Chains A and B, each alone.
Chain A
Amino acid sequence: MIKSLIRATAVLGTATLMATTAFAGDLVINFDDPNPGPKKGFETAVEKFKAANPDINVTVNITDREAHKTAIRNFLSADAPDITSWYPGNRMAPFVNAGLFEDVSDLWSSDANLSAKFEAIKPTMTIDGKQWGVPYTYYQWGIYYRKDIFDKMGISEPKTWAELIAASKKLKEGGVTPFTIGTKFLWTAAGVFDYLNLRTNGYDVHNQLTAGKIKYTDPRIRATFAKWKELVDMGAFVDNHATMSWQDAIAPFAKGEAAMYVMGNFSVDGYKNAGLKEDQIDYFPFPEITPGVPRAEEAPADAFFIPAKAKNKADARKFLAFIAQPEIQSEWNTTIGQLPPNSDAKVGDDKFIQQGFETVSTAAGLAQFFDRDAPAEMAKAGMEGFQEFMIKPDRLDAILKRLDKVQERVYK
């Protein structure tokens, strides 16, 4: 009995061993978005890659985004796939510094697409002068608003801070909260802060702040918070935002209780699912605050990386070069309703993508996002500070001093 059991386990063991042994031509890809749209975009690209490379046997693992964020630390050091999706900027820094991502600078200098058509996004893929991955999509941020409510109250898209304040006052008078937001998971507040900061001080200050070169108690950052305080003091944000996720915050927007939302383009799907019609919603870039500051935008990208421990790096490079092609990027991003990083790729004809492309392609600089530009620990402390400020604006001094303390420790 026991003997047969041992034999059975031994057989099973060899079987799994054989299954995990990668043959040349096997390519394992880990992807992190099982939602229908992104999954379809990814799978279509993989199918095309298979058709173009029939000798490569592609295996795809799709996991949930949050699970992927935890799992990646394990699989990069233990059982690495050949390609994995991840985020650029400071989000890739821990893995780059730990030597877990493959340097793909060679691809960036030799590949026709990567060397010429990715100039705008190249800096965010770069650490220590080397490139570490290939982006397949990015998306714009800005203000999504209820066009029907704006029209009814006779408000036009604000172009300047004064117009935004005036529009907010008008909305308040009409019983509508100007902005909806859900800060339970903190990062939404960072979106507002980033825009206020980019418009008040510009792209360089954003970068210097997230790189730890400017203090939070700096007068320039205080100026940003002063603008924010104007909004908070007039009650421009929905109550109870601390208990809502960004999806929860769509409810007041859909019900017409709030008219604007500082968000990324991925949220459009959410508005439509909440029952809003295409012509009820529209988009405008975050208005100008300090005249003359070149307009920079938030445009986070998603990318693919080759783990340093990948078994089939040659074919992995083939795949990265394949997805950098303009046709592949056009189709993929039309499917998922986002923007292709390749400047030769065609942009979808959805009105939000068109406007987003217009906004982003004319921008003076592209920021990733507060929590991707700043190191994780700083980002967390900063975003908690933003949330606290939105609820208790009087504590600004204490918050900024605390952030300085964290900054001192994180960047030492």
Chain B
Amino acid sequence: MSVTTSINASATSGTIDQRSWYAKNKLRVAPWLFLAPAMIFFIVYVVLPIFQSLWISFYEWDGLGEAKWVGIGNYVELIDDDRFYTSLYNNVLWLVLYMLAVPAGLFIALFLNQTVTGMRIYKSLFFFPFVISQVVVGLIFTWFYNPNFGIVGEIWKFFGAVPPSILGDENLVTYGIIFAGLWPQIAYCMILYLTGLNNVSPDQIEAGRLDNAKGWKMLWYVVLPQLKPATFIAIVVTVIGALRSFDMIAIMTQGGPYGTSNVLSYYMFETALSEYGFRMGYGSAIAAVLFFIMLFFISYFLWNMYQEEKVGR
């Protein structure tokens, strides 16, 4: 606000402004100049490819030869594709179960938010799974789940049961991968809540104590409202994490057995870019569907954020 008024002031006070256009509009132009590099890259590498993908999704193209216009043919095929529905269902499963990371992260954070000697070490140990690469996490869990030599097999055998082949069973495989994905995601949520807990005002806790609040009530009515920003970020990163769950699936099962652990992002990769794929149009159609699902969530969060800021002001 102050910027525009000062410009207006200078414009009205002088008789005829002799300065160059740039000098006159410096304050208005400067932010755009600073934003320009980021915006150019964003447009070239994010916005344009989005439209390009949408465009390609109307073609049948193997990435080499002539692209053939098929209109909405790829989308019609999607509606009739069992693999697509399996992937969509698994995506929903990921979204729902991945949300467990938020409360789990909160409770670990509450548990770790104490002053004990060596607490920093414990905290960093809990944070550790987030630091190691998803690929490594996937590999480790693949070994855990191996019924012949993995820890899961050993536990089952200890109780005298026949160990299940978690990654080879169509009913268990997605849960197995989600569980592996939760491990680093919980750590991520935990660190968000830990930083949030640092900002919880001691006065309010004190005041709550005086009013005889403790335990769950204290958590629900006094601590959690103050953690709202952390919760918001935790949910956002978890939703995004669930929707782009790709590396775990690529490492652990490659979408198998027979496509039952596919999610949209991996199915898109498989049809468009893998060894037996190179159906660029069909892959782009899947990408478009995934894009609109993400767009839905992201706009919801942005809208939410906007509303809150309006109230805050």
Contacts and interface: CB of A to CB of B under 8 A. Distances in A.
A73 B64 contact: yes
Interface stretch (B3-11, B217-225, B274-282, B294-302): B274-282
A397 interface: no
Nearest to B142: A243
Contacts, number: 70
Interface centre among A66, A70, A100, A184 (most CB of B within 10 A): A184
A243 B277 contact: no
A376 B275 contact: yes
B53 interface: no
Interface string B262-279: 000000000001011111
A184 B254 CA distance: 8
The range of chain B's interface size is 20 to 34
A186 interface: yes
Contact of A242 (B62, B167, B275): B167
Given A239-B165, A243-B146, A371-B276, A97 B65 contact: yes
Interface centre among B64, B77, B170, B254 (most CB of A within 10 A): B64
Interface in B8-28: none
A3 interface: no
Nearest to A66: B275
A95 B145 CA distance: 41
B168 A242 contact: yes
A373 B258 CA distance: 21
A77 B256 contact: no
A69 B275 contact: yes
Interface string A241-261: 111000000010000000000
Contacts of A391: 168, 170, 257-258
Contacts of A385: 258
Interface in A234-281: 239-243, 251
- Identify whether the interface residues of B are mostly helix, strand, loop, or mixed: loop
A73 B274 CA distance: 12
A97 B278 CA distance: 14
A100 B64 CA distance: 9
B183 to A, nearest CB: 19
A98 interface: yes
B82 A402 contact: yes
Contact of A376 (B148, B256, B278): B278
A98 B256 contact: no
A94 B168 contact: no
A94 B276 contact: no
Interface string A371-412: 100001101100011011001000000000010000001000
B64 A384 contact: no
Contacts of A97: 65
Contacts of A23: none
Given A184-B256, A384-B259, A240 B147 contact: yes
Nearest to A95: B64
Interface centre among B253, B275, B279 (most CB of A within 10 A): B275
Given A242-B165, A243-B146, A243-B168, A388 B276 contact: no
Interface in B237-263: 253-254, 256-259
Contacts of A377: 276-277, 279
Interface in B95-150: 142, 145-148
Contacts of A100: 64
Contacts of B273: 70
A382 B278 CA distance: 17
A387 B253 CA distance: 13
Given A73-B63, A77-B64, A94-B62, A384 B258 contact: yes
A239 B147 CA distance: 9
A94 B278 contact: yes
B276 A376 contact: yes
Given A376-B277, A377-B276, A379-B276, A241 B168 contact: yes
Nearest to A379: B276
A97 B279 CA distance: 15
Nearest to A375: B276
A385 B258 CA distance: 7
Contacts of B77: 409
A98 B65 contact: yes
A66 to B, nearest CB: 8
A387 B256 contact: yes
Nearest to A371: B276
A95 B278 CA distance: 12
Contacts of A240: 146-148, 165, 168
A409 B273 CA distance: 19
Given A241-B168, A380-B276, A94 B257 contact: no
Given A97-B65, A377-B276, A379-B276, A242 B148 contact: no
A372 to B, nearest CB: 11
A265 B254 CA distance: 26
12 contacts: A94-B65, A95-B64, A100-B64, A184-B254, A186-B256, A240-B168, A241-B168, A242-B256, A243-B145, A371-B276, A376-B277, A380-B276
Interface of B: 62-65, 77, 82, 142, 145-148, 165, 167-168, 170, 253-254, 256-259, 273, 275-279
Given A98-B62, A184-B254, A243-B142, 6 more contacts: A95-B64, A243-B168, A251-B148, A377-B279, A391-B257, A402-B82
